[in-house]
Chain A
């Protein structure tokens, strides 16, 4: 009974990670997602796919870092991945904000030059 349950969640996890990867690839194909952002998401999808294909890896990883309950390691990996992605977003937004400011300033200055002519 227990084996069936584990098998079921493993199948679901493989399908879930697979769908994530396909979804990201599809977004890139339709040019809705820049590669810069896709790389992190794809990495995360692949990591989860690998973990769901080879369940032993998770146990080994938990043992390695000293987590007694392997599913908790899953959350750790997930949270770390999301944190990296969010920081990446903040950096990207800051850069956009700076570029946006420069564009607005340039636009204002140019408009004045035009008016002065």
Chain B
């Protein structure tokens, strides 16, 4: 009987967990409006937090024109890592039990959010990554990027024993534990693959689910060829150093 009550309470607690969508945006005036519009449509039970990462265009004004969206206006450009971490800090301080990250560039579809939050609400994982590669979707990927992602995937499998097909995906959801970890420690630039390691080393459960993503609607991708070479080197260096540190 008491078991049943506990189970029921747990279900209730999960149902009423505070949920937030974190949207980092740097000069995304071309996309942020449509992202927010579809977030409102697809995820009405979420609080929405836009983090304007020192944009020089109209991103902030557009975000503020949506009454349901809250904004954090960073005084300087911190880069994607610093911006998203601001969202984690906010989520932790306000007791959110579920945070979803959606990029401000329109690549992640708000209609897919329920896929990556379901395992968290069922308490099957602490972190869920939306992957483009687990199923055949409509996503077209550049060859170089794909090779890089495959390399990360091998590294993950060898070093963590974890099969992660899309470790560069920023379409993720986190529970309270993961939010606490990442608000303390989140890389500054190209944070996604490294964050997988940070979370795994803390013993959190990571799960990947297949999602559909859009190819970019407007604007430019943030990653150039030279940038992606730096990306690879940076991530491998960070992972290498992380392995040298003591596991907690």
**Residues of chain A having any CB pair with chain B under 8 Å:** 97, 100-101, 104-105, 107-109, 111-112, 116
Contact = CB atoms under 8 A, between A and B. Distances in A.
A109 to B, nearest CB: 6
A105 B74 contact: yes
B72 A104 contact: no
Contacts of A107: 74-75
21 contacts: A100-B76, A104-B74, A104-B75, A104-B76, A104-B78, A104-B82, A105-B74, A105-B82, A107-B74, A107-B75, A108-B51, A108-B72, A108-B73, A108-B74, A108-B86, A109-B72, A109-B89, A109-B93, A112-B70, A112-B71, A112-B90
A109 B51 CA distance: 10
B188 interface: yes
A108 B71 CA distance: 9
Given A109-B89, A109-B93, A101 B72 contact: no
Given A105-B86, A112-B70, 14 more contacts: A100-B76, A101-B78, A104-B74, A104-B76, A104-B82, A105-B85, A105-B89, A107-B75, A108-B51, A108-B72, A109-B86, A109-B90, A111-B73, A112-B72
Contacts of A108: 51, 72-75, 86
Interface string B95-122: 0000000000000000000000000000
Nearest to B70: A112
Contacts of B70: 112, 116
Of A97, A100, A109, A116, chain B has the most CB atoms within 10 Å of the CB of: A109
B52 to A, nearest CB: 8
B78 A105 contact: yes
Given A108-B86, A109-B93, A101 B188 contact: yes
A111 B51 CA distance: 12
Contacts of B188: 97, 101
A107 to B, nearest CB: 5
Contacts of B78: 101, 104-105
A97 B187 CA distance: 12
Given A101-B188, A105-B89, A111 B72 contact: yes
A100 B188 CA distance: 12
Contacts of B75: 104, 107-108
A117 B63 CA distance: 19
Interface string B76-96: 101000100110011001000
Contacts of B90: 109, 112
Contacts of A116: 70
A93 B93 CA distance: 29
Of A104, A108, A112, chain B has the most CB atoms within 10 Å of the CB of: A108
Nearest to B79: A101
A10 B97 CA distance: 71
B77 to A, nearest CB: 9
B182 to A, nearest CB: 13
A80 to B, nearest CB: 25
A76 B78 CA distance: 39
Nearest to A111: B73
A97 B86 CA distance: 15
A116 B47 CA distance: 14
A100 B78 CA distance: 9
A68 to B, nearest CB: 38
